[in-house]
């Protein structure tokens, strides 16, 4: 069977993802579409140059109708965050863009897995499922996977250990109401809070640094894309290879954490070739459970104001 991916959005995130995917996963056909029609033409030609090293792949520009027999549709299209903006500031701009994408993709006969990376990702992943009518396990958002990677890097630096020795995640919204699960985090198998050289003040500083890192990158170079592109490549690679992995992603909440809202939120999620195989409810302290519920409440407030008609 042909392993086929349609990429919607050929900006910095999309083009970097395409490069990462081709270098790490076998792909037979990669179609790229963007509102700026010249970009997919140039990127297709540019990406062809790595195929002698990465393996054969039919790379070409295309349209939403090409999704009809794709395994995965990756959505990175959207207005990027500007300096000083929050991810939620992008809601109204990117909801209209999302509607213009989902409807023709579904009309094409697409029956694969949607992977959403545009911001605000939890909101747009929730809306992708509602607009498409797809089963919830076939719609995935990148969620807090990037935040978690940033946290692991920061903790490894602070504790002077290898990244592989850090077990810690960011959960909830990919945004201002996210939180680090410090109460359950471990370093080299030892509780983080029992480690020498780190206290509540230091954890608060790390949390602040993680939250501000994206904005600092945007201020200095205009956009963030390396980390999220690699995360997308990991997700899509797992789907194409039917390989089970667990990441903190935007996943459908169905009573986990006592949350009653019908939405997607960052939580540990197992994925494979069929999309989401199961949502994992992290074991949280009472204080962090309240943070998770608060994050869901804030997302629901935003969702309640969106008109999809």
Active site residues: 174
Question: What is the rounded CA–CA span in Å between residue 124 and residue 98?
Answer: 7
Full 3-state SS string of 87-108: HHHHHHHHHHHHHHHHHHHHHC
Sign of the Cα torsion 227, 229, 230, 231 reads positive
Whether the Cβ atoms of residue 180 and residue 144 lie closer than 8 Å to each other: no
For the chain, give me the number of helices (H) and strands (E)? 9, 14
Q: Which string of b and e fits 81-100 if b means at least 16 CB within 10 Å? A: beeeeebbebbeebbebbee
Where would I find the beta strands (DSSP E) of the chain? 4-8, 29-33, 58-61, 72-75, 113-116, 139-141, 166-167, 170-171, 179-180, 186-187, 190-191, 245-252, 264-272, 275-279
Q: Which 8-state DSSP code applies to residue 175?
A: S
* CB contact set of 164 (below 8 Å; sequence gap of 6+): none
In a 3-state reduction of DSSP, which class is residue 296? helix
Q: 3-state DSSP call for residue 153?
A: helix
CB 136 within 8 A of CB 129: yes
Q: Are strands 72-75 and 186-187 parallel, antiparallel or unpaired?
A: unpaired
Measured distance CA(79)–CA(9) in Å, rounded:
10
Helix axes 286-304, 121-132, angle to 10 degrees: 60
């Amino acid at each position: 069977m042909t392993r086929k991916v349609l990429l919607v959005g050929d900006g910095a995130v999309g083009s970097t993802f395409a490069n990462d995917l081709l270098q790490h996963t076998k792909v037979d056909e990669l179609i790229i579409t963007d509102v700026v029609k010249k970009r997919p033409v140039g990127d297709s030609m540019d990406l062809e140059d790595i195929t002698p090293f990465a393996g054969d792949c039919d790379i070409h520009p295309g349209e939403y109708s090409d999704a009809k027999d794709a395994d995965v549709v990756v959505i990175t299209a959207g207005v990027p965050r500007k300096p000083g903006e929050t991810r939620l500031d992008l809601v109204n701009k990117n909801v209209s863009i999302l509607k213009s994408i989902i409807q023709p993709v579904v009309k094409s006969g697409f029956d694969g897995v949607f992977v959403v990376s545009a911001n605000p990702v939890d909101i747009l992943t929730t809306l992708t499922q509602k607009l498409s009518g797809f089963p919830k396990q076939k719609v995935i958002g990148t969620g807090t996977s990037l935040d978690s990677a940033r946290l692991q890097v920061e903790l490894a630096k602070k504790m002077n250990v290898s990244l592989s020795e850090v077990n810690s995640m960011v959960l909830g919204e990919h945004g201002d109401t996210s939180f680090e699960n410090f109460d359950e985090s471990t370093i080299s198998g030892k509780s983080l809070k029992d480690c020498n050289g780190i206290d509540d003040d230091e954890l608060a500083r790390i949390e602040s640094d993680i939250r501000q890192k994206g904005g600092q990158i945007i201020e200095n170079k205009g956009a963030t894309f390396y980390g999220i592109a690699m995360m997308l490549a990991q997700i899509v690679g797992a789907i194409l290879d039917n390989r089970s992995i667990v990441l903190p992603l935007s996943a459908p909440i169905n009573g986990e954490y006592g949350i009653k809202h019908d939405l997607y939120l960052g939580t540990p999620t197992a994925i494979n070739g069929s999309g989401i195989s199961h949502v994992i409810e992290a074991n949280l302290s009472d204080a962090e459970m309240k943070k998770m519920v608060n994050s869901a409440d804030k997302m629901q407030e935003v969702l309640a104001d969106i008109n999809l008609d």
